[in-house]
Structure 1
Amino acid sequence: MDTQQEHVIAAVEEHNVRFIRLWFTDVSGTLKSVAIPPAELENAFNSGIGFDGSAIEGLSRVHEADMVIKPDASTFHILPWDESGEPCARMFCDIHTPDNQPARSDPRGVLRRALERAAKAGFTFHVHPEVEFYLFQRQTHPNGDPIPIDNGSYFDHVSRPVAQSFRAQAVTELEHMGIPVEFSHHEAGPGQNEIDLRVSDALTMADNLMSLRTVVEHVAITQGVEASFMPKPLIDQPGNGLHIHMSLFEGETNAFYDPLNDYKLSDIGMKFVAGILRHSREISAVTNQHVNSYKRLWAGDEAPAYIAWGRNNRSALIRVPSFTSTEGHSARIEYRALDSAVNPYLAFAVILNAGLAGIENGYDVPESIDTNINALSARERHIMGIEELPSSLHSAIKLAQKSELIAATLGEDAFDYFLRNKLWEWDAYRQQVTAFERSIQY
């Protein structure tokens, strides 16, 4: 037993923790949990906790059902709420086979493999996300639409107490779990909010995003409202984006920084951008995994539908934020296509591998676009060589089916399940009859 595991056992005893919740995700990004008492903690560290992997979406086939979850002691934190009336804690877990091999279909393991690839090239991958979500009243409008808790817009100081106290409680609970928050504010849509987490390595950040969703949903329950991370919950309002700021570091040095470049981006940073742009269409099924995701991308708001990059261009897929020459450590790019319903482990993995492909293969970055791409005509975009992201989940799936990058990143089992699951979602969606269709005069 290592030092971190011993620390966890001591902390459980010191704080009289009654249950330890072991968290992991399925391939779709749904959080799973099993609770153990303190008496089982040492065994969980040493041998893991066995479970039926075939009962979890995409983790294993029926004839390979036995799986083991092993808690990662570095993720231990006491939960800021006591669901059982007694102190509880949580740890994220890695999934293994019975012979103690990492499960190829474990989303956390998928990201670990991508990070190991980066490490072999001398890089660590840092991520800073902006997480958007809506807060709705518990009742719905007579037409079935959700009702936002307020009519606020971007950065509004909403007088109704729910939004203010909601963010304050959510931020407090996140910080109690060791998740540092940079800031929070009201977003552009009515009832829409944003919480930005401080930069960390990508694996920690993926864990933190899963924790953030849990915290937000918990606070919503306590305050009598409903939280939604749905990409596009309201027809005429902005969707829920998950903009991520990214950089590669070589030790303590930001590998994206070059003070002599016009964009202050190094050759490594430029090639990373080129890799993401080149592979952005084929990875869309992972970065935007739901039918509803494409209603956000193509809604005409600031969500990017076109494949381009530029400085401070919020209509571009990749934006290069401004920073001063004395802030070289802050050199980064912002990828704007992700939505808040994404599986962060898989999304970070495919984005990282796309960027690394650009570095390894020496991709040339296209010319930057510093105008509103949405305002250009289709002919102007064609002349400028600006391609589109897929317009539907079905289009994204067809591209993903041919993607060597996704197949190599996810691994055979997770790739196969992911495609089957997305095809099921598309087929189920195609069979729906909507109110819009009923409103047409036939």
Structure 2
Amino acid sequence: MTSRAAQQQEEARQLTARLETEGVRNIALTWVDNAGVARVKTVPAQRLADTAARGVGMSPVFDVFTSDDTITESDDLGGPDGDLRLFPDLDRVTVLAAQPGWAWAPADRYDQLGRPHPACQRQFARRMTERATAAGLEVRMGFETEWVVTRAPESHHPGTTDTFAPLDYPCAGPAYGMTRVVELSDYLRDVTEALTVQGVDVLQLHPEYAPGQFELTTAPADPVRAADDVVLVRETVRAVSARHGLRASFAPAVVAGQVGNGCHLHLGLYRDGRSLHRTPDAAHGLAPDADAFLAGILATLPALLAIGCPSPASYLRLQPSRWAGIYQCWGVENREAALRLITGAPDDPDGGHAEVKTFDAAANPYLAVGAVIAAGLHGIDSRAGLPEPQSGDPGILGVRERARRGIVRLPATLTEATDRLEKSAPLHEALGKVLHGAVLAVRRAEEAQFAESTDEEIAAATRWRW
């Protein structure tokens, strides 16, 4: 056993003793696959020390699972051969407030010789964060998580499509209305209380536009922690919903034709503890590196869509004039722009950041944060610059006016977005051959799966996958 493994084992023994006093009997170790589905292996709490030292076995084939559990293959992954080891991040072991007797930890994946698995998405996010640090940048990120809650049917088999229609919403109040909060006040209280107990810093929770829809925003953190947090938020919401006889869907399109669920990514840039969004006398307060970083994201957005909008269902959500950001432009406090600059309060020295509005919860959050950082760093390296900001809704402009302003629509299908990802040299380099190939293989398989499906069939088939 290596000295590091021995240290991990001793730390885990001490942690196990604490978990036992809190009644924890099982620990869920999660990773998120390239289809955005949180997968899990569980271990008894008393096995945590051995797990920390030696890991838990798993197949590399999970990197080419699709959202409906079909298995595809890439040049490097697929088939029954091979094995990996899951190692829990002991710093993130969390007692689950809505699942008595359970704790949770995100896992990193290594091969049997202890080498990082090249397709481990969480380690990809960490590598990109370290690249930013090496460039003198601190990146802070946070997510807005949207979901739709319905009453759970009496007989329900997880993962199946609906056997009931229309969906049975537990609250009938108007969009953003206090009525929804009143009708589901116990449920919403339990969601925020569970997250607070679990150490997740909730900034706000409110009703959203679609029937039965809510949105929860978490505080900014380092990118890997932000991705961990959004996984924990989703599974906590799911668990609290079940305890209330409800069912939560994070799918991009719960009902075809309605406003869908987004999972917007917020990011702020700092150097030596000072915000690069608050530079005196700079246009919009953006320091040169912040301007170039955001320009890199904006330029790469067509390819980033295959990361942040990874399902055919995602493109049912990406419709004009729904605040989903379907046009490749940016704007100051413009919620129809794909990249929104948020200025913040003038007296807040740390205020100001940006929001990528296109992403949804079908995305693997580790891929999302890592790919956005890679795009931003490429913008700095290539000395990119932001074009003129856009105001108003590009969707109501005529085609000629959009062309005159240089506003183009982002990919309208997963096929188009995947084609752009395949050709994106910066993202290929950042992801590496194995992970890049696995993502492409899963996207192509998702395209083929739903090639002949109607919008309604796509929404029904994917409604409960996330």
TM-score, scaled to structure 2: 0.87
CA distance, structure 1, for counterparts of residue 303 and residue 328 of structure 2: 12
Q: What residue number does 1:173 align with?
A: 194
Q: How does 1:151-300 map to 2 (within 5 A)?
A: 151-158=172-179, 162-300=183-321
CA distance, structure 2, for counterparts of residue 60 and residue 390 of structure 1: 27
Deviation for aligned residue 1:160: 7.6
CA distance, structure 2, for counterparts of residue 316 and residue 56 of structure 1: 32
Aligned amino acid, residue 435 of structure 2: A
Backbone CA RMSD of aligned residues: 2.4
CA distance, structure 2, for counterparts of residue 168 and residue 41 of structure 1: 32
Deviation for aligned residue 1:211: 0.9
Q: What residue number does 1:322 align with?
A: 343
Deviation for aligned residue 1:308: 0.8
CA deviation profile, 1:183-238 (whole Å, cap 9, x unmatched): 10111122110111111111011011111111111122122222111112234432
Q: What residue number does 2:144 align with?
A: 130
| Maintained 8 Å contact 1:141/1:147 | no
Aligned amino acid, residue 25 of structure 1: V
| Maintained 8 Å contact 2:323/2:336 | yes
Q: What residue number does 1:416 align with?
A: 437
CA deviation profile, 1:91-120 (whole Å, cap 9, x unmatched): 111100111011110110111111111111
| Maintained 8 Å contact 1:60/1:105 | no
Which has the larger displacement, 427-436 or 364-373?
427-436
| Maintained 8 Å contact 2:257/2:316 | no
Q: What residue number does 1:333 align with?
A: 354
Aligned amino acid, residue 31 of structure 1: A
Given the superposition, is the C-alpha separation of residues 217 and 158 from structure 1 closer, same or farther in structure 2, using an over 3 Å criterion?
Answer: same
CA distance, structure 1, for counterparts of residue 93 and residue 244 of structure 2: 26
| Maintained 8 Å contact 1:282/1:400 | yes
Q: What residue number does 1:49 align with?
A: 56
CA distance, structure 2, for counterparts of residue 159 and residue 181 of structure 1: 19
Aligned pair 1:375/2:396, yes or no? yes
Aligned pair 1:101/2:115, yes or no? yes
Match 1:24 to one of 23, 31, 38: 31
Match 1:75 to one of 92, 109, 118: 92
CA distance, structure 1, for counterparts of residue 366 and residue 343 of structure 2: 27
| Maintained 8 Å contact 1:284/1:396 | yes
Which structure ranks higher in relative contact order (CA pairs < 8 Å, sequence separation ≥ 6)? 2
CA deviation profile, 1:139-187 (whole Å, cap 9, x unmatched): 5999944343333334311268553222211111111111111110111
Aligned pair 1:113/2:130, yes or no? no
CA distance, structure 1, for counterparts of residue 144 and residue 202 of structure 2: 10
Q: What residue number does 1:306 align with?
A: 327
Instruction: Find the residue that maps to 1:218 and give its secondary structure.
Output: helix
Aligned amino acid, residue 83 of structure 2: D
Aligned amino acid, residue 178 of structure 1: G
CA distance, structure 2, for counterparts of residue 336 and residue 364 of structure 1: 20
CA distance, structure 2, for counterparts of residue 4 and residue 80 of structure 1: 23
Aligned amino acid, residue 81 of structure 1: A
CA deviation profile, 1:224-269 (whole Å, cap 9, x unmatched): 2221111122344322112222112223222332132241221121
CA distance, structure 1, for counterparts of residue 41 and residue 257 of structure 2: 40
Given the superposition, is the C-alpha separation of residues 232 and 13 from structure 1 closer, same or farther in structure 2, using an over 3 Å criterion?
Answer: closer
| Maintained 8 Å contact 2:276/2:285 | no
Instruction: Find the residue that maps to 2:281 and give its secondary structure.
Output: coil
| Maintained 8 Å contact 1:27/1:106 | no
Given the superposition, is the C-alpha separation of residues 221 and 10 from structure 1 closer, same or farther in structure 2, using an over 3 Å criterion?
Answer: same
Aligned pair 1:36/2:43, yes or no? yes
| Maintained 8 Å contact 1:216/1:227 | yes
Number of residue-to-residue matches in the alignment: 433
CA distance, structure 1, for counterparts of residue 286 and residue 408 of structure 2: 23
Aligned pair 1:11/2:18, yes or no? yes
Which has the larger displacement, 337-346 or 32-41?
32-41
Given the superposition, is the C-alpha separation of residues 124 and 64 from structure 1 closer, same or farther in structure 2, using an over 3 Å criterion?
Answer: farther
Given the superposition, is the C-alpha separation of residues 50 and 163 from structure 1 closer, same or farther in structure 2, using an over 3 Å criterion?
Answer: same
Aligned amino acid, residue 125 of structure 2: L
CA distance, structure 2, for counterparts of residue 70 and residue 389 of structure 1: 38
Identity %: 25
Given the superposition, is the C-alpha separation of residues 126 and 189 from structure 1 closer, same or farther in structure 2, using an over 3 Å criterion?
Answer: same
| Maintained 8 Å contact 1:257/1:269 | no
CA deviation profile, 1:7-61 (whole Å, cap 9, x unmatched): 5234224324212222222222221222222332222222222233335546954
Instruction: Find the residue that maps to 2:440 and give its secondary structure.
Output: helix
Given the superposition, is the C-alpha separation of residues 45 and 344 from structure 1 closer, same or farther in structure 2, using an over 3 Å criterion?
Answer: same
Aligned pair 1:148/2:169, yes or no? yes
Aligned amino acid, residue 11 of structure 1: R
Instruction: Find the residue that maps to 1:328 and give its secondary structure.
Output: coil
Instruction: Find the residue that maps to 2:204 and give its secondary structure.
Output: strand
| Maintained 8 Å contact 1:125/1:248 | yes
Instruction: Find the residue that maps to 2:179 and give its secondary structure.
Output: coil
Instruction: Find the residue that maps to 1:231 and give its secondary structure.
Output: coil
Deviation for aligned residue 1:328: 2.6
Aligned pair 1:403/2:424, yes or no? yes
